[in-house]
Structure 1
Amino acid sequence: MTHLPQLPAPQLRVPATYMRGGTSKGVFFRLDDLPEAARVPGPARDALLMRVIGSPDPYGKHTDGMGGATSSTSKCVIISKSTQPGHDVDYLYGQVSIDSAFVDWSGNCGNLSTAVGPFAIANGFIDRARLPQDGTFAVRVWQANIGKTIVVHVPIAKGEVQETGDFELDGVTFPAAEIVLEFMDPSEDGDGGAMFPSGNLVDELEVPGLGTLPATMISAGIPTVFVNAADVGCDGTELQPAINEDRAALATLEAIRVAGALRMGLIRTPDEAATRQHTPKVAFVAPPKDYVASSGKAIAASDIDLNVRALSMGKLHHAMMGTCAVAIGTAAAIPGTLVNLAAGGGPREAVCFGHPSGTLRVGAEAVEAGGRWTATKAIMSRSARVLMEGAVRVPADALD
Structure 2
Amino acid sequence: MAHPPQTRIPATYMRGGTSKGVFFRLEDLPEAARVPGPARDALLLRVIGSPDPYGKQIDGMGGATSSTSKTVILSKSVRPDHDVDYLFGQVSIDQPFVDWSGNCGNLSAAVGPFAIANGMVEPGRVPHNGLAVVRIWQANIGKTIVAHVPMTDGRVQETGAFELDGVTFPAAEVQLEFMDPAADEEGAGGAMFPTGRVADDLEVPGIGTLRATLINAGIPTIFIDAASVGYTGSELQDAINGDPRALAMFEAIRAHGAVRMGLIGHVDEAAQRQHTPKVAFVAPPATYTASSGKTVRAADVDLLVRALSMGKLHHAMMGTAAVAIGTAAAIPGTLVNSAAGGGVRTAVRFGHPSGTLRVGAEAIEAGGQWHVTKAVMSRSARVLMEGYVRVPEPASPDGA
Task: Indicate the TM-score class for this superposition, using the shorter chain for normalisation.
Answer: over 0.9
Deviation string, structure 1 residues 183-232 (Cα, Å, up to 9, x no partner): 00001324561000000110000001011010000000000000000011
**Is structure 2 residue 98 aligned with structure 1 residue 85?**
no
- Following superposition, the deviation at residue 399 of structure 1 comes to 10
The equivalent residue for 1:135 is 130
**Is structure 2 residue 112 aligned with structure 1 residue 112?**
no
The equivalent residue for 2:141 is 146
- Following superposition, the deviation at residue 321 of structure 1 comes to 0.1
1:118–1:154 CA contact under 8 A, matched in 2: yes
The equivalent residue for 2:46 is 51
Q: 1:273 to 1:398 in 2, by over 3 A?
A: farther
The equivalent residue for 1:187 is 182
Q: Distance in 2 between matches of 1:188 and 1:78?
A: 21
State TM-score, norm by structure 2: 0.98
2:183–2:219 CA contact under 8 A, matched in 1: no
Q: 1:255 aligns with which of 252, 257, 260?
A: 252
For structure 1, list consecutive stretches of 5 or more residues without a partner in the other structure: 1-5
Q: 1:292 aligns with which of 289, 292, 303?
A: 289
The equivalent residue for 2:20 is 25
The equivalent residue for 1:3 is none
CA RMSD of the aligned region, Å? 1.0
The equivalent residue for 2:335 is 338
The equivalent residue for 1:100 is 95
Q: Distance in 2 between matches of 1:374 and 1:136?
A: 28
SS where residue 107 of structure 2 aligns?
helix
2:17–2:167 CA contact under 8 A, matched in 1: yes
The equivalent residue for 1:168 is 163
- Following superposition, the deviation at residue 248 of structure 1 comes to 1.0
**Is structure 2 residue 82 aligned with structure 1 residue 76?**
no
- Following superposition, the deviation at residue 126 of structure 1 comes to 1.4
**Is structure 2 residue 321 aligned with structure 1 residue 319?**
no
1:104–1:278 CA contact under 8 A, matched in 2: yes
Q: Distance in 2 between matches of 1:71 and 1:387?
A: 18
- Following superposition, the deviation at residue 66 of structure 1 comes to 0.1
User: Which aligned segments of 4 or more residues in structure 1 are displaced greater than 6 angstroms?
Assistant: none
The equivalent residue for 2:367 is 370
Q: Distance in 2 between matches of 1:354 and 1:303?
A: 8
Q: Distance in 2 between matches of 1:26 and 1:133?
A: 28
- Following superposition, the deviation at residue 272 of structure 1 comes to 0.5
**Is structure 2 residue 236 aligned with structure 1 residue 216?**
no
SS where residue 335 of structure 1 aligns?
coil
Q: Distance in 2 between matches of 1:131 and 1:262?
A: 44
- Following superposition, the deviation at residue 83 of structure 1 comes to 2.6
Aligned residue type for 1:269: H
The equivalent residue for 1:328 is 325
1:47–1:398 CA contact under 8 A, matched in 2: no
1:329–1:378 CA contact under 8 A, matched in 2: yes
- Following superposition, the deviation at residue 7 of structure 1 comes to 1.4
The equivalent residue for 1:392 is 389
Aligned residue type for 2:212: A
Q: 1:22 to 1:210 in 2, by over 3 A?
A: same
Aligned residue type for 1:366: A
The equivalent residue for 1:201 is 198
- Following superposition, the deviation at residue 129 of structure 1 comes to 2.9
Deviation string, structure 1 residues 224-274 (Cα, Å, up to 9, x no partner): 000000011100000000000011111111111011000000000111100
Q: Distance in 2 between matches of 1:224 and 1:399?
A: 42
SS where residue 397 of structure 1 aligns?
coil
1:45–1:399 CA contact under 8 A, matched in 2: no
Q: Distance in 1 between matches of 2:133 and 2:395?
A: 37
Deviation string, structure 1 residues 311-341 (Cα, Å, up to 9, x no partner): 0000000000000000000000000100000
Deviation string, structure 1 residues 346-373 (Cα, Å, up to 9, x no partner): 0000000000000000000111111111
The equivalent residue for 1:268 is 265
2:141–2:183 CA contact under 8 A, matched in 1: no
Aligned residue type for 2:167: V
The equivalent residue for 2:227 is 230
